[in-house]
Amino acid sequence: MRNSPQPAPPDVDVIDFCKSFGAVRALDHVSVRFRAGRVHALLGENGAGKSTLVKCLMGYYRADAGRLLVDGQQRAILHPRDAHALGLGMVYQHFTLVPQMTVAENFLLGRKHLPAIIDWSVEHKALDEFMASMPFRLDPRRTVATLAAGEKQKLEILKQLHLGRRFIVLDEPTSVLTPTEADEVLGEVRRLSDARLLSVVLITHKLREVMRFAQEVSVLRAGKVVAHTETEVASETSLARMMFGAATLIEKPEPSRTNVSATPDFYLELKGIHALGDRGTPAVVGADIGVRPGEIVGIAGVSGNGQKELVQILAGQREAHSGSMRVGGHRFYGTRRELEKWGVSLLIEEPLVNAAVPSMSVMENLALRQFDRPPLANGGWLLKRSALRPFARALIDRYGIRVGSASAPLQTLSGGNVQRTVLARELARPVRLLIMQNPCFGLDVAAAIEIRRQIMRVRNDGAAVLLISEDLDEVLELSDRVLVMAGGRISYETDRARADRYEIGRHMTQALARLPA
């Protein structure tokens, strides 16, 4: 397959696709023409139907109605195999690579027929030849775990090309990349399509990327194509209006207050924190971080650069092997007593795994911080179950948690509602320090805006807020000061007024080269 002359990328026509899940019309007479050798963006909010459309295209779902033309011929795609046979492939948002294997081994995995005995000298030679014909390359001998996120994304794309796919769907390909990495990967994708090696469908909600790298864009809203245009004649504003509907304006959280450093003392102060990661290698290397009351300090960084370990130290889930952590001027060890005394609240990523008990009810999870305190208990040991329900009900209403019964196990809730539940729990008592990690990860736009508004409220009430996020836009939008964490160090600091996304992005990737392989 890899030595055959490379076929031209196909034209793909989607005509009148419909797909319903129960009462929900996920696709409502959707027609899109993906022209050969072009980068075509699919833009839309979560739930607009982008994923459903490509899943029908790739054979994971079967459309209820509609026709599909590939190079003008009608085709039926009933299974991913059919899509692959037509040269259609997809790169998923989450990597499907095997981290502990080499690049070469990962290349081999996708092949339909693995030879019984693998002659690595032959394979490596063939791979080197293949890489030489590509505009970007990777060392086949490296272990995937040592690749940066941008390199993994490139490997996914190379894998598709290696398998002979000439029409590739990229599902939010830059969600885990820095701006510089994103520009590089998408620049290469654009170059491949300009060289007519590839037709590309780019699923994204980042307007900047659409304007910069796509030639055409189709906007989906509530299962319908509401607009189709060449990017040359569009602007970010016009696209945003199409995406959210003309009447809806995106409400930004309240603007920052000026004069944040009126109180000079740090409420949270980390000095020289060192810690080891799960593999026993240094993960946090001498981090100095200070947060004053009434300011949001954002820590930007590519995931896997020590953020997880840093948050675990703050949450009392991991021991720092040196350095000091002070809250309100006192040594802090993250015990339950200290958390309560100093008003520390935590919103850790993946709360279902890290900060809640999935099989306990919403009610019980809401009470995890206060179940043995009045009014939920007498004398610190006798729980009053009767007081629990009204306490939970009040929080459920106040934070708009969508749940039928307060007794439903937390694990039955959607991601956004789990996030709201944990946030409600953490904000249910006076907050003086709020520590958050990727608070809006995986949430739809409305839920994310709501959570960001809560964060702003807490800050404007005078709490110190530490925001650790992989989403640079989020960090830039919310923070009064921005720090960058790379290779376990705080490598850069800037304030809101001077923050520049490319400068920050450069620092986010800078230390990667220094990390041990």
Partner 1 sequence: MTGTFELGWWGVLLAIVAGAIRVSTPYLLVSLGETLTEKSGRVNLGLEGTLVLGAMSAFATCYLTSSPWLGMLAAGLAGSALGLLHAAICNLPRVNDIAVGIALFIFGIGLAFFLGKPFIEPRAAMLPGLPLGNWSANPAIRSAFDVSPMFFFGLVLAIALEWGLKNTRWGLILRIAGESADAARAIGLSVHRVRTLATMAGGFLSGLGGGFLSLYYPGNWNEGLSSGQGLMAIALVIFARWSPIRCFYASLLFGGTAAIGPAVQTVGITEGYYLFYAAPYVLTLGLLIYSSSPTRTLAGAPSELSISR
**For residue 99, cis peptide bond before it (omega within 30 degrees of 0):** no
Tell which positions 181-220 bind partner 1, by CB under 8 A.
none
For 262, the token pair is 């009126």
Choice between 96 and 235, CB closer to partner 1: 96
Choice between 79 and 402, CB closer to partner 1: 79
358 binds partner 1 (CB under 8 A): no
Instruction: Please pick, from the candidates 65, 76, 85, 109, the single residue that binds partner 1 as defined by CB under 8 A.
Output: 109
Task: Write down the least CB distance from residue 493 to partner 1, Å.
Answer: 29
Instruction: Please pick, from the candidates 99, 135, 272, 462, the single residue that binds partner 1 as defined by CB under 8 A.
Output: 99
CA distance to 120, 151, 209, per residue, from 184 (Å): 30, 10, 11
CA neighbours within 13 Å on the CB side: how many for 400? 6
Task: Write down the least CB distance from residue 337 to partner 1, Å.
Answer: 23
156 binds partner 1 (CB under 8 A): no
Tokens 């989020």 appear where? 474
Task: Write down the least CB distance from residue 239 to partner 1, Å.
Answer: 33
**Spatial CA neighbour of 440 closest among 351, 311, 332, 335:** 351
Choice between 120 and 130, CB closer to partner 1: 120
Instruction: Please pick, from the candidates 98, 122, 195, 249, the single residue that binds partner 1 as defined by CB under 8 A.
Output: 98
Amino acid at position 92, single letter:
Y
Instruction: Please pick, from the candidates 72, 280, 404, 516, the single residue that binds partner 1 as defined by CB under 8 A.
Output: 280
Q: Facing residues of 282 across strands?
A: 276
For 81, the token pair is 């195999």
101 binds partner 1 (CB under 8 A): yes
108 binds partner 1 (CB under 8 A): yes
**Spatial CA neighbour of 155 closest among 81, 163, 125, 82:** 163
516 binds partner 1 (CB under 8 A): no
Spatial distance between the Cα atoms of 173 and 154, rounded to a whole number of angstroms:
10
Instruction: Please pick, from the candidates 7, 16, 115, 235, the single residue that binds partner 1 as defined by CB under 8 A.
Output: 115
Tell which positions 297-326 bind partner 1, by CB under 8 A.
318-319
Choice between 92 and 502, CB closer to partner 1: 92
Spatial distance between the Cα atoms of 149 and 299, rounded to a whole number of angstroms:
18
Task: Write down the least CB distance from residue 326 to partner 1, Å.
Answer: 23
Task: Write down the least CB distance from residue 276 to partner 1, Å.
Answer: 5
Instruction: Please pick, from the candidates 232, 233, 278, 353, the single residue that binds partner 1 as defined by CB under 8 A.
Output: 278
List of residues 6+ apart from 289 with CB closer than 8 A: 268, 269, 270, 273, 297, 299, 466, 483, 490
**Spatial CA neighbour of 431 closest among 337, 342, 498:** 342
Residues that contact partner 1, how many (by CB under 8 A): 24
Say if residues 359 and 411 touch (Cβ distance below 8 Å): yes
SS3 475: helix
279 binds partner 1 (CB under 8 A): yes
117 binds partner 1 (CB under 8 A): yes
171 binds partner 1 (CB under 8 A): no
Spatial distance between the Cα atoms of 12 and 1, rounded to a whole number of angstroms:
22
Spatial distance between the Cα atoms of 164 and 429, rounded to a whole number of angstroms:
57
Choice between 281 and 460, CB closer to partner 1: 281
Tokens 């004649």 appear where? 233
Task: Write down the least CB distance from residue 275 to partner 1, Å.
Answer: 8
CA neighbours within 13 Å on the CB side: how many for 471? 20
The residue ranges of DSSP E strands in 392-509, in sequence order, are 433-437, 464-469, 481-486, 489-495
Tokens 């508004």 appear where? 453
285 binds partner 1 (CB under 8 A): no
Tell which positions 120-139 bind partner 1, by CB under 8 A.
120
Mark the segment that binds partner 1 (CB under 8 A) among 25-33, 148-156, 276-284, 396-404.
276-284
517 binds partner 1 (CB under 8 A): no
Amino acid at position 105, single letter:
E
110 binds partner 1 (CB under 8 A): yes
Choice between 156 and 364, CB closer to partner 1: 156
Instruction: Please pick, from the candidates 6, 73, 93, 96, the single residue that binds partner 1 as defined by CB under 8 A.
Output: 96
Contact footprint for partner 1 (CB under 8 A): 96-101, 105, 108-110, 114-120, 276-280, 318-319
